[in-house]
Each structure stands twice: as structure tokens, then as C-alpha cells.
Amino acid sequence: MTKKIIPIIFILWIQNAFSDLAFDTCMDIVVSNLLNQQYAKAYERVENVLESDPDNIDALFMRLNAIQIEIMDYESYVLDGEKFVRTLDSTLTFFEKFIHPADVDDQVKYLFYTGTIYGMRSLILAKLGEWIPAVKNARTSVKLIKEARDLDTTLYEAFYGIGLYDYYVGVNLKWIPFMKGRARKGIRKIKKVVHSTSPLSYMARNSLSWIYIEKEEYSKADALVSPVLAKYPDNTIYLRIRARLALLLDNYEDAIIHGRRLIQLSYARNPVNWSDLVDAYQIIVASLDAMGKNEECLRIINEALSLKVPVSAKKIEYVQKHLNFITIKKKEIEKKL
């Protein structure tokens, strides 16, 4: 069900720091490409920078973020995760070998970037089921980001990664007495970014939306998603949340409308986002079933099951899950007719 853009999209922040005007303008365009899910264009612009300046750490960092956003968007962790981990490792080696901060500003950048990369690594490893190294990387990430925050108290963006870490540690270890309240503290930190003027507020909204969905506080999640979709109405990352929320709130007509729009946008993308597409069909099927529209529901089910889903896409967790749901629902509906 979930599509969590969890920790680590600090790309929107790069444009406000550590860069000259020409690079700043280029990164503005890359950010726009990413928010509009135009990954090929984003990669092209970053690579153009690296062709003339291969040691540009801001561009190297931006490239990592672009790759991770695309993986998160398509939920292709099982397909692309291991390759991305190798890319992260090579970038970390470059940073640790060649970067020797000479002043506080450079040191803040180094700590923040490396901390963020360890956070990326943690997320991918967790998605691949490698929990012990994932936890170790998460701890390293938070340690480095906290060090950056200590050196620069204006580094508001640090609250995002630290807040996410506190929330999930608090939730998973809530049975330990001294962990009581840690999840709430994590949410408060994320909220600081959500309600700030930081460009990271978009990503913080996304993460906090999924947290509220996990807590079954659906109206709060919807209130976070609405402003983003008002500005980027075709962003399927947020549209998928809106469609899922409509279903969870029993707003079935809205869920169907958003689901159909998600199908349309998913087909229009190259490559097709099978995760979004199958999710949209599952939302529509569940909504029609709840409304008692059995004949229409069966028609949509047959349409969904006729999709030529690639073998590789079927390895994606939620593609499998939703196809199974639709298959089981077909048998249930057929018994009713």
C-alpha cells in the first residue's frame, strides 16, 4: 500500500547552499525535473555538470538523490537496490578519500552529505531485508547529521532525517521504557520542517503523510497532501497517496476518480510505473466492491488481470500484493453474480 519517500531528498536544499549562481540555476531546473518526475532530463543536466567538473560533490550528491527518488517512485528496490548500494559505496569512498574540510562550512557540508548517504544506504538495505546493516547505517547517518547540526544550528533540514529516525525507533522499540515518547518527539521534529519555508517541506509532508496513515489519522494525512497536489497535480507520488486516502476515508467516488487519473498518468510514463498502475486498479476494485457495484467491479478486475505486467515488475512487493488481492476479489465477486 505504501509509497514512502522516506528520508532523504535533500536535493531541494542544495539550491540554497554551497553553490554558485550558474550551478544554482542548473539545480533549480533539476529540482523541477524531479518534482515533475522527469528523471531522464534530471540525469542529463547533472551529467552535463559532471562532464566539466567530475569532482563537483554537489552534483554527485544530486545524482544520488535523483537515483533514489526514481527507485522510490517505481518501488524498484528489489530490482535496482543492490546496484544503487554499490553507487553509494563508491561515492562514499570518494568523499572520505578526497574531501578534507578546511573550514566549518565545508565540514558541515561533508557531515551532512555523508550522513545523508548513509541514510540512503540504510533505507535500501532495509527494503532488501538486510536489517542489521540497515540499522547500523541509520545510526551512522543520524550521528553525522547531528554533528552537522551542532556545527550549524541554522541547519533546519537536519530535523527531517533525525525526526524520521526517532519516530521509527520509537515505534519499533516502544516496549522499552526509556523509548516512551520518542516517536512523538520524532513527529514534532518532522513537523518543524513541514511548517518551515525550507524546500524540504515537500518531502517532509510526504513522509509525515505516511506516518499519519500508519497511525490511521487519515484526515491529517490528507491535509498534508492537498497543498502539494494543488501545485503539482500530476505528481503520481502524491496522487497515489490521495487515492489511497480517499479509499481509507470511505470516499469511494473520489477514490475511483483519483485511481483512474493515476492509471492514465502511469500509462503515459516511460517506462510505465507498474507499481502505481496496479495500485490504482486495486483502489478502484476495492472501492467498487465496497459500493456493491459487482458487475462494474468484475469488469475492472478483468481489465486489471489482463495487464501484461513484466516478470521483473511482479517481483515488486506491492505489485504482487495487489495482484493477489484482485485475483481473490475476482472469485468473491463471481460468487455474488
**Is 312 domain-assigned?**
yes
Given 3-state DSSP classes, what are the helix, strand and coil percentages for the chain, each rounded to the nearest 5?
Answer: 75, 0, 25
**Is 85 domain-assigned?**
no
HEC-encoded secondary structure of 18-58:
CCCHHHHHHHHHHHHHHHCCCHHHHHHHHHHHHHHCCCCHH
pLDDT for 99 equals 63
**Is 23 domain-assigned?**
no
**Is 148 domain-assigned?**
no
User: In order along the chain (337 residues), what is the average pLDDT of each group of 10 residues?
Assistant: 42 43 63 84 90 88 88 92 96 79 74 88 89 89 90 81 82 63 87 77 84 94 91 92 96 97 94 95 98 97 96 93 96 92
**Is 208 domain-assigned?**
no
Specify the residue for cell string 566539466.
Answer: 52
pLDDT for 166 equals 85
**Is 44 domain-assigned?**
no
pLDDT for 101 equals 64
Please give the residue range of the domain that contains residue 284. Answer: 233-337
Q: Classify residue 216 as left (phi > 0), alpha (psi -120 to 50) or beta.
A: left
**Is 51 domain-assigned?**
no
Model pTM above 0.75? yes
Cβ contact 10:116 at 8 Å? yes
What's the CATH code of the domain at 256? 1.25.40.10
Cβ contact 108:155 at 8 Å? yes
Q: CA angle at residue 105 from 166 to 135, to 5 degrees?
A: 25
**Is 69 domain-assigned?**
no
